[in-house]
Amino acid sequence: MKLWHKIFLGIFLTAFFVVILYGCFQIYENHKDNLRREQERSLGEMELLAAAIDNAEEIFGGILPGLQWYGKYYEDKGIYFSFYKKEECIYQSLEGIEPEIYASMLDVKNNQRKLRITKADHRYYIMTAGRRNSEEVLFYLRDITAVYEDRKSQIWYLSVWLGIFLAVTALVALLISKALTRPLKKLEQSAGRVNEGNYEIFCAQGTDEIGRLGAAFNSMARAVEEREENLREEADRKQQFIEAMTHEINTPLTSILGYAQLLKTANCTRQQQIKALENIESEARRIQQMYQKLMQLHKIRAEGWKAEPVKLRDLEADLRQDLDQLFAKQQVRVEFQWERQTVNSDYLLLYILLSNLLRNAALYSDRGGRVRVCAENCEDGFVLRVQDWGRGIPAEAVERVTEPFYRVDKSRSRQTGGSGIGLYLCRQIVEQLGGWLEIHSAEEKGTTVTARFPRNVTALIQPGNTAEESSS
């Protein structure tokens, strides 16, 4: 059963039972009051009649002639008499009353009255019995059919008015139920459109429960749309990543296969063999480096990060130990500038971030160049910055260098062993830590990569008392 059916039936049945119960109660009370008045009237007239019959007995020389005279006089007024002596009927002005009814009232006592309502020939009578002495009982009967006719008339009028009232009530209940459920119907239609993938919906809002439900549904639809859009974008990014990775892996594999086939030829010189083996080793290292960075990326996404106190001096020492050979080979001087400080973050993620940024800066700097790493407090959090004065990045490529497997100069990337996902990995790390990455670069002037971390994410930096600078 639909909700509007339930509301309609609830209103209609409630109105029906309230009206019918109230109407029946009023009819019952009116009928009871009418009967009480008739009883009081009968008792009063019984007293007057008894006194009149006593006088008539003296006037007519006996009670029977007086009863006959009064019987004829009152018959047209719906009043009748019966007289019993020694439990035998002496006079009866109304026929049709069963003797058993009279017999049931003959036990009335002196100075008392006994009343009863009876029915004869489809008419109603109120009977009043009064004892005159030990042998005689006088019965007074009044026609009260009008009282019952009045009740029947009231019932008929109640039925007519009840029908009219219920018709109006049904119409009002229908309009109310439809009005109350109209927003729910719209919600149902909106849910159907959402199910079909159409999120361009708007449900009426208000301060009542249905209005708040509509507002909640609007919010839910927007959230579902945003989530679906995010999932779609994520799926597109994954697809692009897989396609790019497939291409990037296929390139060195093709090169390896080519050099392997060259080695298989019988007329290959010793110099060609050495060159082929060096290229095979270079491409294999490139695949290995790509694998290592992909595993790092997977670990970041799978395990997340755990905040812990990270001493930047310890981080610097580890970076120097692992990258000094590269710095020496490229003849690049690296400077670390920061206050003695500790930051709440993830040590491993910060290490991977800085090692990738430093590796890129060293590889794309000229010999004798300089790279600077600094950590700064800022108004809204903490900043890590890696700056070089190398070749720089073309303006049109700055926005794309954090895309997976994107290279500004593919030939140089192969020479330096770049995997194409270093800056992409850096961006993922910074976003995982709740920050964002900024890249500013100009060709032949250098590049500055800034990682900004909000204070409420990385917690407070604890500055030291002095500033230090070290270089290599």
Q: Identify whether the C-beta of residue 355 lies closer than 8 Å to the C-beta of residue 326.
A: no
Residues 267, 329, single domain; the answer is no
Assess whether 15 and 99 both reside in one domain.
Answer: yes
Residue 194 has pLDDT above 50, yes or no: yes
Q: Is residue 167 part of a domain?
A: no
Neighbour-count burial for 150-186, b at 16+ CB within 10 Å, e otherwise: ebeebeeebeeebeebbeebeeebeeebeeebebbeb
Both 350 and 226 in a single domain?
Answer: no
The torsion angle over the Cα atoms of residues 304, 308, 314 and 320, rounded to 10 degrees, is 10
Same domain, 225 and 135: no
Residues 319 and 271 in one domain: no
Residue 271 has pLDDT above 80, yes or no: yes
With cut-offs at 50, 70 and 90, classify the pLDDT of residue 248: low
Residues 147 and 271 both lie in one domain: no
Higher pLDDT, 88 or 195: 88
pLDDT at residue 184 tops 50: yes
What's the CATH number where 217 sits? 1.10.287
Q: What is the pLDDT of residues 2-27, one digit of tens each?
A: 777 888 888 889 988 999 999 999 99
pLDDT of residue 465: 32
Backbone phi, psi, residue 382, to 5°: -135, 140
The pLDDT of residue 412 is 46
- Last residue of some domain: 303, 318, 348? 303
Do 30 and 108 lie in one domain? The reply is yes
Q: Residue 194 falls within a domain, yes or no? A: no
Quickly state the pLDDT bin for 143 (edges 50, 70, 90).
very high
**Span 314-369, pLDDT tens digits:** 999 999 988 898 899 899 999 998 765 788 888 888 888 898 899 889 988 888 89
Is it the case that residue 413 has pLDDT exceeding 50? no
- pLDDT tens for residues 47-79? 888 888 778 777 777 778 888 888 888 888 888
Task: Indicate the average pLDDT of the chain.
Answer: 81
Total domain count for the chain? Answer: 3
Question: Residue 459: its pLDDT value, please?
Answer: 42
Which residue type occupies 408? V
Q: Is residue 176 part of a domain?
A: no
Query: Are 122 and 103 in the same domain?
Result: yes
Residue that finishes a domain, picked among 242, 277, 303:
303
Does some domain include residue 163?
no
Residue 122 lies in a domain: yes
Indicate whether 159 belongs to any domain.
no
In a shared domain, residues 294 and 324: no
Specify if 173 maps to a domain.
Answer: no
Segments forming the whole domain that contains residue 292: 201-303
Same domain, 461 and 326: yes
User: What is the CATH number for 87?
Assistant: 3.30.450.20
Question: Residue 359 CB: number of other CB atoms within 10 A?
Answer: 19
Mean pLDDT of 387-395: 90
User: Residue 157's pLDDT band (boundaries 50, 70, 90)?
Assistant: very high
- Domain boundary pick from 256, 276, 303: 303
Residue 458 confidence class, pLDDT cut points 50, 70, 90? very low
Residue 162 lies in a domain: no
Q: Are residues 275 and 380 in the same domain?
A: no
Same domain, 143 and 265: no
